[in-house]
């Protein structure tokens, strides 16, 4: 890590990000970069606009999350591994921690809200994790603290640790290595770990690339935190993009996002549903709402800025059951 003297931020260096990528390589995939070329893109932005997709939905467990979880558990010593790990998540981080724990042969107890899709609960269990269901994600953080104290398990934070952020930064490293130089890159934001890591990698490799974060209107914690300059919370998460429903921001990932992101965008549930339909119809990709957020921002609030540019979109995950997917994309249509 290097410390930025102006901000006191401990920023992952390129050497650290590359080393991390090598360390996690046996356990994660190098997901493709794909140029989205079809009539819909040309009609929306013109022939001079290039849209590149980082297909992280093809990652092991279905999202980018194993990058950070594997990196975090790799840092634990033998004594800590013997005690096992714990995590709190609406689904994707829990699945990733369960996967990483299974890899290293250690015990995982993950806390999830009772409203979490059954698909994600069962996927966590399929990797051998014990799942504890609680009323909501707010109660989940309290429960995971209790588990830490009583069982001595290591807490794998969903977004606000240096090991998590550096693991997620490997997404940005791959983007810069596998695509032509970008003018813009759009990244979904939940707690901000992915955006913080990607921003750190991309701005060191391609300083001219403007990195934008996108949040759902019903989970705008990063917007609120940018406005006040400090971590903020929301009383309720009210969005179909539950993977982006962090109830609060935390200081480290917030600081990196403020340092590296050009700006933030907000998208509605309706805009994410439209983007889900477009990705299905034009790319044959069945994605969860969070994954569609970057596409929704491109087609909505960031549209004018993207015209004539080379734009990258992070497609972050696809952990959604068939029934839920069909129900969501059918909303507001004639069937």
pLDDT grade, residue 6 (50/70/90)? very low
CATH number of 65-155: 3.40.50.1100
- The predicted structure's pLDDT at residue 335: 40
Helix (H, G, I), strand (E, B) or coil at 35: strand
- May I ask the CATH architecture of the domain 14-63+161-330? 3-Layer(aba) Sandwich (3.40)
CA torsion, points 207, 197, 51, 60, in degrees to nearest 10?
Answer: 150
- What is the rounded average pLDDT of the residues 98-127? 95
Does residue 2 surpass a pLDDT of 80? no
Which among 198, 257, 247 has a CA at the least distance from the CA of 227?
257
- The predicted structure's pLDDT at residue 13: 97
Tokens of 196: 């913080």
Which among 116, 131, 129 has a CA at the least distance from the CA of 324?
116
Helix (H, G, I), strand (E, B) or coil at 155: strand
pLDDT grade, residue 334 (50/70/90)? very low
- Cβ(72)–Cβ(302) below 8 Å: no
Does residue 122 surpass a pLDDT of 90? yes
Backbone conformation region of residue 217, classed left if phi is above 0, alpha if psi is from -120 to 50, else beta:
alpha
Does residue 179 surpass a pLDDT of 90? yes
| 34 compared with 7, residue with greater pLDDT | 34
Question: Domain residues of the chain, as ranges?
Answer: 14-63+161-330, 65-155
CA distances in angstroms from 171 to 69, 281, 322, listed in the order given: 14, 26, 27
pLDDT grade, residue 5 (50/70/90)? very low
> In the beta sheet, which residues pair with residue 3?
10
Average pLDDT, the chain: 94
Q: Do domains 14-63+161-330 and 65-155 have the same CATH topology?
A: yes
DSSP string computed for 102-115: HHHT--EEEEEETT
Residue 227 half-sphere exposure toward CB, CA atoms < 13 A: 7
pLDDT grade, residue 4 (50/70/90)? low
- CA distance linking residue 292 with residue 272, whole number of Å: 6
Instruction: Give this prediction's pTM.
Output: 0.94
- What is the rounded average pLDDT of the residues 112-138? 93
11-48 b/e with 16+ CB inside 10 Å = b?
bbbeebbeebbebbeebbeebebbebeeeebeeebeee
The two beta strands, 130-134 and 154-155, are: unpaired
| pLDDT, tens only, 132-167 | 999 988 898 899 999 999 999 999 999 999 999 999
Strands (E), 56-97: 85-88
| pLDDT, tens only, 210-260 | 999 999 999 999 999 999 999 999 988 899 999 998 889 999 999 999 999
| pLDDT, tens only, 264-294 | 999 999 999 999 999 999 999 999 999 999 9
| pLDDT, tens only, 46-77 | 888 999 999 999 999 999 999 999 999 999 99
């Amino acid at each position: 890590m290097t410390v930025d003297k102006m901000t006191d931020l401990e920023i992952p260096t390129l050497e650290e990000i590359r080393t991390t990528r090598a360390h996690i390589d046996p356990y994660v995939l190098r997901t493709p970069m794909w140029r989205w070329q079809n009539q819909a893109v040309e009609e929306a932005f013109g022939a001079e606009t290039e849209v590149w997709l980082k297909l992280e939905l093809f990652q092991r467990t279905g999202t980018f999350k194993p990058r950070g979880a594997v990196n975090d558990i790799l840092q634990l010593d033998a004594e800590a591994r013997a005690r096992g790990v714990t995590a709190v998540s609406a689904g994707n981080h829990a699945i990733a921690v369960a996967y990483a724990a299974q890899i290293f042969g250690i015990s995982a107890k993950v806390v999830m809200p009772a409203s979490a899709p059954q698909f994600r609960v069962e996927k966590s269990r399929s990797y051998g994790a014990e799942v504890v269901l609680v009323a909501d994600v707010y109660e989940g953080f309290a429960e995971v603290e209790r588990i830490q104290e009583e069982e001595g398990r290591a807490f794998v934070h969903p977004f606000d640790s240096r090991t998590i952020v550096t693991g997620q930064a490997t997404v940005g490293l791959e983007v810069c290595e596998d695509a032509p130089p970008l003018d813009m890159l759009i990244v979904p934001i939940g707690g901000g770990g992915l955006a913080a890591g990607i921003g750190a990698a991309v701005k060191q490799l391609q300083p001219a690339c403007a990195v934008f974060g996108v949040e759902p209107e019903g989970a705008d914690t990063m917007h609120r935190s940018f406005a006040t300059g400090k971590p903020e919370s929301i009383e309720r998460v009210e969005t179909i993009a539950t993977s982006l429903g962090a109830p609060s921001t935390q200081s480290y990932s917030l600081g990196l996002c403020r340092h590296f992101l050009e700006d933030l965008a907000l998208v509605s549930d309706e805009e994410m549903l439209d983007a889900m339909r477009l990705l299905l119809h034009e790319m044959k990709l069945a994605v969860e709402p969070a994954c569609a957020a970057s596409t929704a921002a491109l087609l909505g609030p960031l549209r004018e800025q993207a015209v004539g540019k080379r734009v990258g979109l992070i497609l972050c995950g696809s952990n959604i059951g068939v029934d839920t997917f069909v129900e969501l994309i059918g909303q507001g249509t004639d069937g």
